[in-house]
Amino acid sequence: MKGVQTHSQRMMKLALELVSSVLEVVKQEEYKLHADRIRQIYGSRCHDFPVLVRSCGLSQAIAFYVDKANDEDKAIAKAHQLLLQHIGAIIGVETDGKGRANDPLLRRVLEEADATEYMLYTRRIFQSWVYFRRFAVSILKVPTAEVERR
């Protein structure tokens, strides 16, 4: 019998699906040459995104990722596009992750949010990002700095 799931269980399931999808994306022909770098960049960002949000706020962190999502380096761009898509999924905004003029939805949602909504989005990110960090290690094999030092 399947019962009601907690918010944490739903966040864990979503994070698992999203992080696992990175492995599927890098198998695509157009990304095969950059697969390891995309995985590494995405995983590294999973570890440092909460720090970025705490230090400069969610909107500035998103603006930074939007800039990186438009980078000329294909691996950097794709990793950040995936991150933006996944951040959008957490707060309930569908995005292609490029943040260009034809896809301003994620930024607009954050810009137009009142203080309560903005705090809710930030809280959702922090609650779910615990799982992103764990899955970056277990699925993507990108260790944290603490693990690397051991």
In a domain, 148, yes or no: no
In a domain, 150, yes or no: no
pLDDT at 94: 75
| Number of domains comprising the chain | 1
Residue 124: pLDDT band with limits 50, 70, 90: very high
In a domain, 15, yes or no: yes
pLDDT at 148: 43
In a domain, 102, yes or no: yes
Q: How many angstroms separate the CA atoms of 62 and 73, rounded?
A: 19
The alpha carbon of residue 66 and the mean position of all alpha carbons in its chain are separated, in whole angstroms, by: 12
Q: How many angstroms separate the CA atoms of 72 and 87, rounded?
A: 22
| Digit-coded pLDDT (tens) for 84-108 | 999 999 998 877 666 554 456 788 8
pLDDT at 2: 74
Of residues 147 and 121, more confidence is placed in 121
| Digit-coded pLDDT (tens) for 52-95 | 999 999 999 998 998 999 999 999 999 999 999 999 999 988 77
In a domain, 1, yes or no: no
In a domain, 51, yes or no: yes
In a domain, 47, yes or no: yes
pLDDT at 1: 53
Average pLDDT over the chain, rounded to whole? 89
Domain range for 30? 8-143
| Digit-coded pLDDT (tens) for 17-45 | 999 999 999 999 999 999 999 999 999 99
Supply the CATH number for residue 43's domain.
Answer: 1.10.520.30
In a domain, 3, yes or no: no
